[in-house]
Amino acid sequence: MVYEMLSPVPVKKRHRPTLVCLNCRRRKTKCDRGKPSCSNCLKLGETCVYSEDTDENASKKVRYEYMDDLGLPEFINMAPKGLHLLSKRSASWFNGLFSDIAICDRDPYLRITNAVIDILRKSASKGIDRSERDTVLQLPNSLKTVTMYNRSEKSEDQLYHQIAREFSALRSAPIPETYVPYEYEFWSKYYPYFVDKIHPLVPVFNLIELKDLLEKFFQRQKDHPGKLNDKVHESTLLMLTYLIINFFLLEFDSHNRLIQDHINIIKKWLVQSKWFQKTTLLQLRVWLVLRFHNWCTYHDNDGNRMNANDGLMGLIMGHCASLGITWQLWTNVDSDECKNIWINALHWDRKLAVLNGNDTFNGRTMRVPELPNDHLVLKFLKCCVDDPTHVNYKLAIEILNKLNFEEQNPMVTWEWKVIVAVTKLQINHGRLNHINEGISAVIASLEDLITLWNEHFIRPLAPVSYSSRIIEISMNKALVLLPAIILRARNPCKQKILQLMDKILTTYFNEFPYYYHVFKRLFKYKLTLNLINREDSLDHMLTILKHENHQVLEKLGITSKDAEMSDDDVIKVWNARFSFTEKVVNLKVEMMCKNYEPNLFSSSYQHALEKLEERHSAKADAIDVTQFLQQVFDSTDFDLFYGMDVGELPKMDSILP
């Protein structure tokens, strides 16, 4: 039997033209062109983008590119020692990717500097006479020896005591009774300043409605003095009047005791309120004004880790969600006043996340005209924070370069320039630690910061109480990093960077001494500058470590087993691991520094230096570093000495209990 092979039945192919969304790569048929977006793009806040129609012979026209032309990603490890959750009896906190502790942990030069200081303070504490004290009122016991090394009759040395006494008075002040401000003074002096300078930066109120509410509030207080009717939110309005008054005082009378009195009343009222359970639009607006206020104030601000108001931000973002003030305002609900609240809440959420290197409270974004940079900020945080050990360096820098705030308020534009510059500094420093090269990029970022600092001190933007805070934060970040650059540098570059660090320290402590967290950093930075201000400072630190504490060496990863050598010479091991041969680029920008009289930074420790010179009959810079540091170490550096962080006590750092 013969079987005839049948030809297969021809299948008709459908030549349906398809499209591919260039954002989410989802295929769509041509009839889907009418849809504005696909579901993936809606979630990401993107708008579908399609390529133009191609020719049938498009494959012949493809231009192939080599990988070198495209540029490969460069991944760096920004957290070689991991990120830590630290705890003490009164609090626990997470140190974000851009926190001071994280910066020090990823740099071996900074780790060894801190290790040496820790060893020296332990040896220094053995010779301290505890009976010899100058008591300063209600400050902690760890601060009662503030004059041990500053016992001098010179007037400039008394500035240190004046600041300490002011902090003492703030801590010991009783909580005053609630009072209603004078109406005439409020309308004639405080409210116009709020409308002119503060409201443009926190535009969450309709000024016509706000004025009407406050006028009715003052009228009711005339009719029923001393009684607050919370059914019409009089407690909330009284709190707002205190904040409005404080904004004026912070700018023109920053040492007025009324500032802290108002803060204490607000804190007491917060504890007694039901804001943790429910809120209104008016209360949410006042919370955002409070968030702005805590950025400006010297006293109850964000603290030395910029996390003291995380609880307040959590409440703001949580109640925004409960009131429907989220991204759905651009899809399902149309309310301009609610949009202003959400835009302002996101501003603080994103800004603090970038400064700390933390996750945001709200992880969604949309491309809307009112927030043109939000998707870029969130993309940058995702690039850095999701996996700090695998950060795409090129992508992170590219995103930072794309940020453009020129159409925003001039203050917001300038502030984000500082934030971008200080963030680039930290990203470039992370790359320097990862591949042990790239110091020119670090210097370039530092020059950008110096330019912005000079602009601020020549012509500061008002309100100065607001603009000064980001300058203080960025200066501290630079001061944390600079010892690592100095220890890597060689003469003459080293001397120029040392001079820069001295100028920054002088400006930092004379411009911002009334921030509590700044004041308590004085001792450590003074000690650090004296340690690294030597030709052989790195060798001295290694020698001390070699003879004093081998456990510290193991923590630094310096062990004889890991090194390809027979002996346990610490300096050889260090040079094998962390030697730096790249030439340091000279600074092209000069840091402007005033001639401060009195000078808090230079006058502190002056008495100790004089006594040291008398004792050794030599100049201070010629004294052996070990002996020198044991003499001048200040026992009041309570962060290291007593293992406690007084700056985190609720009375000084936290607006929420």
Is the confidence at residue 129, as pLDDT, over 70? no
67 lies in a domain? Answer: no
CA 475 and chain centroid, separation: 10
534 lies in a domain? Answer: yes
Task: Say what the pLDDT of residue 588 is.
Answer: 87
Say how far apart CA 110 and CA 99 lie, in whole Å.
14
Region 142-152: mean pLDDT is: 38
For 159, the 3-state DSSP assignment is helix
**46 and 185, same domain (yes or no):** no
Task: Say what the pLDDT of residue 121 is.
Answer: 58
**122 and 45, same domain (yes or no):** no
Region 580-609: mean pLDDT is: 76
- Asked if 384 and 78 count as a contact pair (C-beta separation under 8 A), the reply is yes
**418 and 541, same domain (yes or no):** yes
**24 and 126, same domain (yes or no):** no
**38 and 162, same domain (yes or no):** no
Which is nearest to 244 in space by CA: 210, 206, 209, 278? 210
83 lies in a domain? Answer: no
69 lies in a domain? Answer: no
Task: Say what the pLDDT of residue 62 is.
Answer: 47
Is the confidence at residue 140, as pLDDT, over 50? no
Is the confidence at residue 571, as pLDDT, over 60? yes
**346 and 458, same domain (yes or no):** yes
Digit-coded pLDDT (tens) for 476-528: 999 999 999 998 887 778 888 999 999 999 999 999 988 888 887 887 888 78
The boundaries of the domain holding residue 139 are 100-653
Residue 6: count of CB within 10 angstroms of its CB:
6
**395 and 509, same domain (yes or no):** yes
Domain total for the chain?
Answer: 2
Task: Say what the pLDDT of residue 211 is.
Answer: 96
**47 and 108, same domain (yes or no):** no
φ/ψ of 141, rounded to 5, equals -55, -35
57 lies in a domain? Answer: no
Task: Say what the pLDDT of residue 646 is.
Answer: 32
10 lies in a domain? Answer: no
Task: Say what the pLDDT of residue 33 is.
Answer: 54
**146 and 29, same domain (yes or no):** no
88 lies in a domain? Answer: no
**40 and 171, same domain (yes or no):** no
Task: Say what the pLDDT of residue 162 is.
Answer: 64
Say how far apart CA 574 and CA 326 lie, in whole Å.
52
Digit-coded pLDDT (tens) for 45-97: 666 766 555 444 544 444 444 444 445 788 999 998 888 887 777 778 888 99
**47 and 105, same domain (yes or no):** no
9 lies in a domain? Answer: no
Say how far apart CA 647 and CA 654 lie, in whole Å.
9
**108 and 48, same domain (yes or no):** no
Task: Say what the pLDDT of residue 47 is.
Answer: 66
Digit-coded pLDDT (tens) for 268-322: 888 777 777 888 999 999 999 999 999 999 877 887 888 888 889 999 999 999 9
Which is nearest to 21 in space by CA: 44, 42, 56, 51? 51
